Chains A and B, each alone.
Chain A
Amino acid sequence: MNWNCGQLELRLSDYLDGTLTPAELEAAETHVTGCVHCAQWLAARRAVLWLEQVEALPTPPGLETRILAHTTGLAPRLSIWEILANGWRALAQPRVALSVAAALFSLAIVLQAFDINVRELAAADFRPSNIYRKFDRTMHVAYGRGVKFINDLRLVYEIRSRLEQIRPAGEQPAEQKPPAPETPKKEEKNYTDDGGARKFYAYHRPLRRGRSDEMLPAS
């Protein structure tokens, strides 16, 4: 099969879109290789179709200002809206948004640490005496919580050491068969089972004893 110029022109869009069947494509190519006029015309058509899809580049930012500065030595007059739009364009970038988010996050953490509720802030809160009082109070509360935590810890260890003391004496051999190191969770689970408490204590014994020795006076 061989095409003539008219046939090629009729099927031009199919040819350029690449939707001809292999046989038709071969016919078209054969004609194009033989016909200089069609080859040239077809190539030109292809270029135009691609060129139509090229978009113009935007003016680089600041170029107009530089041109005006070079020519008249004056910066352009900008309306208030243009200034606002430029400012917004500069701000509306992922980097800026991320920085703002990070700053807000840090501020939130600091405010929370100092126990400041932004919604309930009043003018009086900014008086130095009030700021001092608030700070003082926060410090006291933090100190009180710390003391309570330490005392609670002491109580827990005390209870544990008492439990240890009242444990029957014949359960020491549990220590001789320590559990496999890769299954500690299983051992913990056994705590609830009948007789599991023994294994649990045996497993945790050295650690527990060390700690209780630190915390409590020898009894």
Chain B
Amino acid sequence: MDDAALVRRCLRGDAGAWEDIVHSHTRRVYNLCYRFTARREEAEDLTQEVFLRVFRTLKSYDAGQGPLGVWLHRVARNLLIDHYRATRHERLSVSLDDELPRLEEKPSTAPPPDRTVALGELSEAIQMGLAQLSPELREAVILRDLQGLEYREIAQVLEVPEGTVKSRINRGRAELGKWLKRRPGFDSVASVDEA
């Protein structure tokens, strides 16, 4: 069933259709929120907030402007930016404290071969790396490389031209890559240990 029909059914009061939407998009929205905030409880609350907002504004969904998933991403992204602005002062003081010891770290030299990184360690390192990026670069990288959206879809979500999206993604990736290279264990791209 296409998104427009699903939304029409929702608007007619079909609870099943809304359940289908929630069921098929919760995981992606939650992951987006988690990658943005790095806190599970906060991500859960924000995911709820996203669906609440979507439910209230379902009438304004226009299938001609893109799939429902992209619209959901846009709602989520706007909410996340609002949330980011609202909590920036709190974050600023926290991130400055985090930053101080890290400045002392020296870049590692010889990369150890056969190094495997645990899955949880990788997720945490990526999370910390993403937190170093500015929100514009971070959202572009998350949407492309973790959420798997196309450039065109990201341009729709962020409401900026595709060229801007590409340049933000490239800059975001480069900064993240530089940050990862300084981290012990991530200086070479080894395999990830599933265990």
Interfacial residues, chain A to chain B (CB-CB below 8 A): 16-19, 22, 25, 39-60, 63-64, 66-68, 70-72, 74, 76-77
The A-contacting residues of B in range 180-194, CB under 8 angstroms, are 180-181, 186-192
- A54 to B122, Cβ gap below 8 A? yes
Number of cross-chain contacts by CB at 8 Å: 130
A-B contact pairs, 29 of them (CB 8 A): A16-B188, A16-B189, A18-B111, A18-B187, A25-B110, A25-B111, A43-B173, A44-B173, A46-B180, A47-B172, A47-B177, A48-B145, A50-B177, A50-B189, A54-B122, A55-B119, A56-B31, A56-B146, A57-B31, A58-B27, A59-B27, A67-B22, A67-B47, A70-B52, A71-B22, A71-B52, A71-B55, A76-B19, A77-B19
- A46 to B177, Cβ gap below 8 A? yes
- B30 to A57, Cβ gap below 8 A? yes
Known contacts: A16-B189, A17-B189, A18-B187. The answer to whether A51 contacts B170 by CB under 8 A is no
Q: What 6 pairs across the A-B complex have the smallest Cβ distances?
A: A18-B188, A43-B177, A18-B111, A44-B173, A47-B177, A46-B177
Q: Which of B31, B123, B145, B190 contacts A52 (CB 8 A)?
A: B145
Q: Which of B113, B176, B177 contacts A18 (CB 8 A)?
A: B113
For the complex with contacts A44-B177, A47-B173, A50-B126, 8 further pairs of A-B residues with Cβ separation under 8 Å are: A39-B174, A43-B175, A43-B181, A48-B173, A50-B189, A51-B146, A56-B31, A59-B30
Complex Cα–Cα for A43 and B170 (A)? 9
Q: Which residue of B lies closest to A49 (CB)?
A: B189
- The secondary structure that dominates the B interface is helix
Complex Cα–Cα for A42 and B31 (A)? 27
Max chain A CB contacts within 10 Å: which of B112, B186, B188? B188
Minimum CB–CB distance for A121 against chain B, Å: 47
Interfacial residues, chain B to chain A (CB-CB below 8 A): 15-16, 18-19, 22-23, 26-28, 30-31, 34, 40, 44, 47-48, 51-52, 55, 110-113, 115, 119, 122-123, 125-126, 129, 141, 145-146, 170, 172-178, 180-181, 186-192
Minimum CB–CB distance for A73 against chain B, Å: 10
Q: Which of B16, B22, B52, B55 contacts A64 (CB 8 A)?
A: B22
Enumerate chain B residues within 8 angstroms of A63, measured Cβ to Cβ.
26, 30, 44, 47-48
Minimum CB–CB distance for B111 against chain A, Å: 3
Enumerate chain B residues within 8 angstroms of A42, measured Cβ to Cβ.
177
Enumerate chain A residues within 8 angstroms of B44, measured Cβ to Cβ.
60, 63, 66
Enumerate chain B residues within 8 angstroms of A50, measured Cβ to Cβ.
122, 125-126, 177, 180, 186, 189
- B51 to A19, Cβ gap below 8 A? no
Q: Which of A25, A47, A64, A67 contacts B176 (CB 8 A)?
A: A47
